Amino acid sequence: MLRSPRLRLKVSLRFRLGLLILSVIALSAALGVWLPRVLGNVLGGALGNWLLIVGCALLPAFWLATTVLRPIQQLLRALSGTVTSYREGNFSQSLVVERNDELGELMATHNDLAAALRTQRAHLVQRELLLDTVMQNSPVALVLVDGHERIAYANIASRHVLSEGRSLNGLHFGEVLQRAPPALRAAATQQGDSLFSAEIEGIEETFHLSQRSFVLQSRPYRLYLLKRLTRELSRQEVSTWKKLIRVLSHELNNSLGPLSSLAHSGAEIARREDYAALPAVFRAIAERAEHLHHFVASYAAFAKLPAPRPERIVWQTFFSDLARQETFKLVGNVPALPGCFDRVQVEQVLINLLKNAHEAGGAGDAVELEVTCTAAEQRIEVRDRGSGMSQAVLAQALLPFYSTKRSGTGLGLALAREIAEAHGGRIHLANRDGGGLSVTVDLPNARLSEDA
């Protein structure tokens, strides 16, 4: 048997209040006509009539007002209770909607808000669970330390590295470091990132430690990330050795093949007693041997790069000596402040950079050299108008043994990078607008700043 739905008319709160006012007025008018005739003689006079009218009108008005305001009071109490539960993190409360007016709409909207909060809370819990699962199973050791040096969070990897698998939460971070390897303890006390090796569970491991400070909910925290690099470095080492062997094999074959052929030709010429042709054969053998000697010497220089010995540099003299070996166009003014670096090493860097700029294919007079020098930094920039480099080449150009030249060793830019970093500086490559390449060498000028 089907039941017909209950018909609910929407009676607005404004209509009810208006009805209350009209009822009070009508009741007051009725009382003003009827009661004076009945009770006028008791109280007597016009003043008594009006007092009786007002007193009798207030009683039904109070009753009607109480009837109208009761659901509002009940709703306010219910809203107060649900808001209190929301503040405590409980979003399961909702209101029972049995009204078809503005109060019912407010209650329905409040229930929609509660449903949205419950949904967001559920999604947040799921994301936190996913994040915690990822962090706990991450191979990177993660330790979060609060402002009181207490460990607020530590994943599984950090427990294996710092406490043999035991929990770290709540422990004092300084006390935990006291039981850690000395290299790890020294790296953690420094500010910034560091690379070190330490013995963990009887195995020599290489680690990279990064640390960052931040504020969360007005509280300071410091995050330590410890990553094992042993396997990655081993793979890179093997890959580098393989590349080195390939380069050496290729270059040796390119030289030994012609030498073998020339030796055979020289023997055949000697057998025919055509001694006039032998000097040409010997010159070709000497050229190939000299090329092979320079090739091996470049690798030896890269492997045995000595520590830089900075000295005070007069820029005009430095530019004059450099111009005798490579041509370039000096851009800008000669710095008034003297430079400070290892003259031989930086000169070798600029010779390699200028030679690469000329080999890039641009016009010879388009190779520019610009130097700016301050009390804290000296910047040397070599620019050309060649074809530039692709993004893939830019990403690998500074790596040892990487070269796009058919007969290149891949050591020129790598050696320049090694020298710049040995000085405490850096080297940067970038394509120029309009074509060409810009190579910037930034070197610190620490000695000059100390003298000043």
What pLDDT was estimated at residue 16? 60
What pLDDT was estimated at residue 8? 41
Range of weakest confidence among 28-32, 123-127, 250-254, 359-363: 28-32
Q: pLDDT of 38-63, one tens digit each?
A: 555 544 455 555 555 555 556 666 66
Q: pLDDT-derived band of residue 2, with 50, 70 and 90 as boundaries? A: very low
Tell me the two tokens of residue 83.
Answer: 């808001």
What pLDDT was estimated at residue 409? 58
What pLDDT was estimated at residue 380? 93
Q: Can you tell me the mean pLDDT for 186-197?
A: 81
Range of weakest confidence among 67-71, 273-277, 431-435: 67-71
pLDDT at residue 268 is higher than 90 = no
Query: What are the chain's domains?
Result: 13-119 (no CATH), 138-228 (3.30.450.20), 252-303 (no CATH), 311-451 (3.30.565.10)
Range of weakest confidence among 59-63, 82-86, 179-183, 441-445: 59-63
Tell me the two tokens of residue 234.
Answer: 């081993």
| Nearest one of 143, 183, 144 to 160, comparing CA atoms | 143
What pLDDT was estimated at residue 193? 80
pLDDT at residue 452 is higher than 50 = no
Share of residues in the chain with pLDDT > 70 (%): 72
Burial class (CB in 10 A: 0-12, 13-18, 19+), 75: middle
| Nearest one of 422, 425, 423 to 440, comparing CA atoms | 425
Name 77's Cβ contacts closer than 8 Å, sequence gap at least 6.
none
pLDDT at residue 20 is higher than 70 = no
Q: pLDDT of 211-235, one tens digit each?
A: 888 888 889 999 999 888 777 666 7
Name 187's Cβ contacts closer than 8 Å, sequence gap at least 6.
194, 196, 207, 209
Tell me the two tokens of residue 400.
Answer: 């040892």
Q: Which amino acid is at 180?
A: A
Q: pLDDT of 375-421, one tens digit each?
A: 888 999 999 988 888 887 777 777 666 666 655 556 678 888 888 88
Tell me the two tokens of residue 114.
Answer: 């509660």
pLDDT at residue 28 is higher than 60 = no
Q: pLDDT of 99-145, one tens digit each?
A: 777 777 888 888 888 888 888 888 888 888 888 888 888 888 899 99
pLDDT at residue 451 is higher than 80 = no
Name 92's Cβ contacts closer than 8 Å, sequence gap at least 6.
85, 118
C-beta contacts of 194-201 below 8 A and 24+ residues apart: 195/229, 200/161
Q: Can you tell me the mean pLDDT for 304-330?
A: 86
